[in-house]
Structure 1
Amino acid sequence: MFRRVALLLLVGLLAWAYQATQPPPPKICGSPGGPPITAPRIKLRDGRYLAYKEHGVSKQVARYKIIFVHGFGSSRHDAVIATKPSAEFIEELGVHIVSLDRPGYGESDPDPKRTVKSLALDIEELADQLGFGSKFYVVGYSMGGQVIWSCLQYIPHRLAGATLYAPVVNYWWPGFPANLSTDAYYKQPPGDQWALRVAHHIPWLTYWWNTQKLFPSSSVIVGKPEIFSSQDLEIRRKMQASGIQTNRPHGKQQGVYESNHRDMMIGFGRWEFDPIEIKNPFPNNEGSVHLWQGDEDRLVPVELQRFIVGKLPWIDYHELPGAGHLFAYNDGINEAMLKSMLTGEK
């Protein structure tokens, strides 16, 4: 009798444990009970829908066409290069910007088959369906900056130029010296170390790990203030005072698993290529690639960024003294970035 009860308890415990690791199904936009569709969207090659937002001058008169890729937990509404420069500056330069909701974010359908490569192909298809022509520019911030590596790898022939703002690094990229990446990894808070270990080594446990209350999870998801530098905290205060919002709930309205958690599994998983081995997409200087990084960024280790650009000398590297991860919201940075990428002005 005791063995039977023990067996039933074990089976029940295992069933509960399995259920706890399974994320709820996403709330697809436009489906019964799901969020409404308010954005323009394109239908992709596999039937998914990708939402986007247009900024700046019309594409019919634009001299430059840019696709902006948002960061972790954000959405198409958080296109800092479209909102932080003045409208007069954007118009004078003749810039048309499209920001997209990455799969699972905002109003873009989730992509359960998402890979490092697939989003680069989504971006290419978005440009084609919007009539951007044979070449266009790409800009990405934070986790969106990481996506730009995929564009440089998989669609370099479509790019007129690219800019990466504080692109997130994957500590398991094989090109990093083990001592350098290990040292940077252990500078993170313990909760972040464990969250990334789980995302990399046992991704099927990512949902449970980042929703359980027994152990510390991702500081970024929780939004702990210690992940921000002193400059970041000052920028956040100014943004809050002026009503500027980022990481709005809208970005995660279809569920945290297909947005935040899949971001972690892809971004810190096993990549099909090593960014440190990417070839120069502009060997004849017909375009340029820029990487901007704050030297006090507590989310993206500057020493790893320095190593990458040291191996890729064709990247124009801009290191900002005293800047943290939110430097893109500082006055003047986006104007300087656009001029560097579009006109070559330093």
Structure 2
Amino acid sequence: MAHFNFFSRMFKTITAVLLIGFIACAYQTTRPPPPNICGSTGGPPVTAPRIKLRDGRYLAYKEHGVPKETAKYIIIYLHGFGSSRHEIAVTTWEIVEELRVHFVTFDRPGYGESDPDPKRTMKSTALDIEELADKLALGSKFYIIGNSMGGQVVWGCLKYIPHRLAGAALLCPVINYWWPTFPANLSEEAYRQQFPQDQWALRVAHYAPWLTYWWNTQTLFPASSVMAGKPKFSQKDIDFMSKVAGRQKRKANVTQQGDFESRHRDMMIGFGRWEFDPMDLKNPFPGNEGSVHVWQGDEDGLVPVTLQRYIAGKLPWIHYHELPGAGHLFPGADGMTEAILKTLLLSEK
């Protein structure tokens, strides 16, 4: 009996040790590596002009176009998923000079040379933009354009800093399938149009955000197709990518501080539980002193056109522009620069 009790206790001890070890290993695999902060010891160098924000973080920015002192319009541009301050979807020198536009682009937190923000929310990013405008003396009001995931940030600006906006444009803004106002059958139908691995990746980002990094780095199941660089592009998007393949610049610097605080956190926030529903927003320009425009391709494989139409129907103050045959990359198509800028800046308010 004594021998039995001894082996029984030993077995329980070994089992407990193995269980603790398994849990510890599992926990470690879900934890992303710490970010490699720009300017820190061993970190990437700081090459961009930056401002210091209210909480001590640094935000890297870049200025384009005519000098702000002689500009007629000031625009802050928000880059999309996996991009940076160097990528701007709506700019050609001819139209910028003609309209006298001063552009400011910046690395969203965790991207490029902007410090990560572990507490990032839709509100904190909107306040970053307001602080950027103040530090650069861009004036009391400015225009804002957001592309793809950057379009989501525009919703945050319309919610939290509408008093600072002269107008806004959202270019194929990414949609969160869990916004409460969507009819369940409509969002479910749109959700099912995504690749199966993307459906799972989005579920994880929404219901178990702490597993987002693990899910998109493990090898047991297919991870997000967008993370893997193989998103659900239309044929026009694929043709466009082939056309501009040689123009891609500085891609290596986009996630140089780590994938987690840039792309993974984008997923966690973009498809997580929002603190507001965009379809509950009020008209930021009740006196028609400004305008808000949403541009959407009807063959966009990443952002369902059916949900974009529903949003536009719920917000009658939105000027909705649907482009037949266009995919997700339409902002880079010939002539779109002029159309987007002139519609935003010159259309009757």
Name the TM-score, length of structure 1 as normaliser: 0.96
Distance between the aligned counterparts of 1:2 and 1:312, measured in 2? 64
In structure 2, the gaps of 5 or more residues are 1-9
Aligned partner of 1:62 in structure 2 is 71
Partner residue, 1:237: 242
The structure whose Rg is larger is 2
Per-residue deviation, 1:247: 8.2
Aligned partner of 1:143 in structure 2 is 149
Alignment-mate amino acid for residue 263 of structure 2:
N
Aligned to 1:268: 271
Q: CA deviation at 1:190?
A: 1.1
SS in 1 for 2:116: coil
Q: In terms of mean alpha carbon deviation, does 6-15 or 260-269 score higher?
A: 6-15
CA shift, 1:325, in A, is: 0.3
- Provide Cα deviations, 1:71-126, integer angstroms capped at 9, x if missing partner: 001100111223xx2x1221111000001100000000000111111100000110
The answer to whether residue 6 in structure 2 is matched with residue 3 in structure 1 is no
1:1-346 → structure 2 map (5 Å cutoff): 1-82=10-91, 85=92, 87-224=93-230, 227-240=232-245, 243-245=246-248, 248-344=251-347
User: Is the Cα–Cα contact under 8 Å of residues 78 and 105 in structure 2 kept in the other structure?
Assistant: yes
Percent pairwise identity: 69
- The residue identity in structure 2 corresponding to 1:198 is V
Post-superposition shift, 1:246?
A: 6.6
Q: Shift in Å at residue 186 of structure 1?
A: 1.2
Q: Deviations over 1:225-280 (max 9, x none)?
A: 5x11000001001101xx22178121111000000111111111111110011111
Distance 1:229 1:345, change over 3 A: farther
1:148 Cα deviation after fit: 0.3
Letter of the structure 2 residue corresponding to residue 78 of structure 1: E
CA contact (8 A) 2:90 2:336 kept: no
Structure 2 residue identity aligned to 1:188: Q
Indicate the SS of the match to 1:272.
coil
- The CA distance in 1 between the partners of 2:64 and 2:195, in whole Å, is 37
Looking at structure 2, the residues matched to 188 and 273 of structure 1 have their Cα atoms a distance apart, in angstroms, of 24
What is the CA–CA distance in structure 2 between the aligned matches of 1:120 and 1:331, rounded to whole Å? 31
1:18-43: CA deviations, max 9, x gaps? 01011110000000111100000000
- Cα deviation, residue 16, structure 1: 0.4
Amino acid at match of 2:298: D
Q: How far does residue 345 in structure 1 lie from its aligned partner after superposition?
A: 7.2
Once residues 170 and 95 of structure 2 are traced to their aligned partners in structure 1, the CA distance between those partners, rounded to angstroms, is 21
1:313, distance to aligned residue in structure 2 (A)? 1.1
SS of alignment partner, residue 11 of structure 1: helix
CA distance in 1: counterparts of 2:31 and 2:277, whole angstroms:
31
TM-score with structure 2 setting the length = 0.95
